[in-house]
Amino acid sequence: MKKIPVGVLGATGMVGQRFLSLLIDHPYFEVTVVAASERSAGKTLAEAGRWMIGGEMPSQFAKMTVQPVDQVGDVGLVFSALPSDAAGPTEIAWAKSGALVFSNAGAHRRDPLVPLLVPEVNPDHVNLLELQRQQYGWSGGILTNPNCTTTHAVLPMRALHDAFGLTKVLLVSMQAISGAGYPGVPSLDIIDNVVPLIKGEEEKVEWEPRKLLGTLGAQGVEEAQITISAHCNRVAVIDGHTECLSLAFERPPADEAELIAVLREFKAEPQALNLPSAPAHPILVTELADGPQPRRDRDAERGMATTVGRVRRCPILDYKLVLLGHNTLRGAAGGSLLNAELMVAKGLIKA
């Protein structure tokens, strides 16, 4: 297929650079626009800042000139890695210009007309885009992926909700410092320490899964009736969020083996469509007694899978488990890219 020209907003930041790295030789997309703040605009990408995600800046991007993020109209599809405060008005301007915006920011996730999308979880929610266009009168649109913690939690939640009917979830996260962006958490705050507050995180984790697992109707999404309580902590790990979940069900599985079988067998539309960024197995289950662990499991399936372990009965709810996933790959740039690939495969984006 002829490649679709795309832009990356916030291209100088850590998630923006993840987008660029994932778009090298992509079969669907070709980066033709990089955009960032006023401080970087007019410089080459190499002049604007260092390459933060390992190795040297790819030569195909280094000499590209950074344009201001509010210079709209050059491409019809953009990936947004902007911080939420800048993302709000900027993404709206791009949508009004006719561009489809695949946003990693939180600015529009709560908008009832904006799809909050994980392709294995709620691919039908892309249809909300048509209602969004009707209501807002623009030809473009905004689609978001959820918070990185939610992304990895909601994959097993989808499988288990379909099989057993989730009613309650208690979630405790141990989140990597890369989730705070670059330069991240000051060393004197995180070394030899655990920070039991990530502002706004618990609220996101407690409502986003309800929208993702909800039912799309004529007027929007009816949220799933699941009670979620979250404790979110920052820990001294570079990449990879670890999460402990206790789960209650309408129809509890007979034993751990039945629950594990549901997780292992879970596949969805991205796998059926063989999307370029889709993991062959979105959920992996480790049998190691001390797994999963960030250094060992975060890069599973190119960082696009969620690894689950330590499945056992819970004396307060029904079952409990530990999960692990890469926060800046599947939990950020990779998630947005998979959303765009789904739209191409559905014929909703054409070259």
Q: Check if 108 is active-site.
A: no
Sign of the C-alpha dihedral computed for residues 157, 162, 164 and 165 taken in this order? positive
Amino acid, res. 24? I
Residues 291-341 have pLDDT tens digits of 999 999 999 999 999 999 999 999 999 999 999 999 999 999 999 999 999
Of 161, 241, 281, 326, the active-site residue reads 241
CA-to-CA dists, residue 69 to 36, 43, 57, 145, 153, angstroms: 5, 13, 21, 20, 32
> For domain 4-146+333-346, is the CATH number 3.40.50.10490?
no
14-23 and 334-345 helices cross at what angle (nearest 10)? 40
Helix (H, G, I), strand (E, B) or coil at 328: coil
Q: Check if 241 is active-site.
A: yes
Give the DSSP per-residue string, 271-312.
HHHT-TT--SSSEEE---TT---HHHHTTHHHHT-EEEEEEE
Residues 171-217 have pLDDT tens digits of 999 999 999 988 889 999 999 999 999 999 999 999 999 999 999 99
Of 148, 161, 232, 281, the active-site residue reads 148
Under CATH, domain 148-325 is a member of which superfamily? Dihydrodipicolinate Reductase; domain 2 (3.30.360.10)
- The percent of residues above 90 in pLDDT, for the chain, comes to 94
HSE-up of 45 (CA within 13 Å, CB side)?
Answer: 25
Q: With contact defined as beta carbons under 8 Å apart, do 19 and 79 qualify? A: yes
201-212 and 148-164 helices cross at what angle (nearest 10)? 40
pLDDT at 73: 75
Residues 206-264 have pLDDT tens digits of 999 999 999 999 889 999 999 999 999 999 999 999 999 999 999 999 999 999 999 99
Residues 40-72 have pLDDT tens digits of 999 999 999 899 998 899 999 999 999 999 988
Q: Residue ranges per domain, the chain?
A: 4-146+333-346, 148-325
Helix (H, G, I), strand (E, B) or coil at 59: helix
Kindly provide the b/e burial profile for residues 328-349, where b requires at least 16 CB atoms within 10 angstroms of the residue's own CB.
bbbbbbbbbbbbbbbbbbeeeb
CA 304 and chain centroid, separation: 10
Kindly provide the b/e burial profile for residues 32-57, where b requires at least 16 CB atoms within 10 angstroms of the residue's own CB.
ebbbbbeebbeeebbebbebbbeeeb
